[in-house]
């Protein structure tokens, strides 16, 4: 059995990591304290394709698989 990620799976992983480190991490503690929903962060995640990752592209998703998710 091959447990290596595909190039596409690595791309999604790297995108999610970079986004989390750059956009979420700096604000996470303040958002938790304020108990706020960061709609701007959710909108950016949607724009990047992270929210619809496992949905087929023909249905508005990103066409990724569950390993990438």
Q: What is the pLDDT of residues 21-40, one digit of tens each?
A: 999 999 999 999 999 999 99
Confidence of residue 2 (pLDDT cuts 50, 70, 90): confident
Q: How many helices (H) and strands (E) does the chain have?
A: 3, 0
Alpha-helical segments (H) within the chain: 7-19, 25-34, 39-48
Burial of 23 (0-12, 13-18, 19+ CB in 10 A): middle
Cα 15 from Cα 32, distance rounded (Å): 23
Give the pLDDT mean for 5-28.
97
Residue 21: its pLDDT value, please?
98
Confidence of residue 1 (pLDDT cuts 50, 70, 90): confident
Cα 11 from Cα 5, distance rounded (Å): 10
pLDDT at residue 16 greater than cutoff 90: yes
């Amino acid at each position: 059995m091959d447990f290596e990620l595909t190039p596409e799976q690595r791309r999604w992983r790297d995108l999610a990591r970079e986004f989390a480190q750059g956009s979420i991490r700096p604000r996470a503690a303040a958002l938790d304290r304020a108990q706020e929903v960061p709609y701007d962060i959710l909108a950016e995640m949607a724009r990047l394709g992270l929210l619809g990752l496992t949905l087929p592209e023909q249905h508005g998703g990103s066409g990724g698989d569950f390993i990438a998710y």
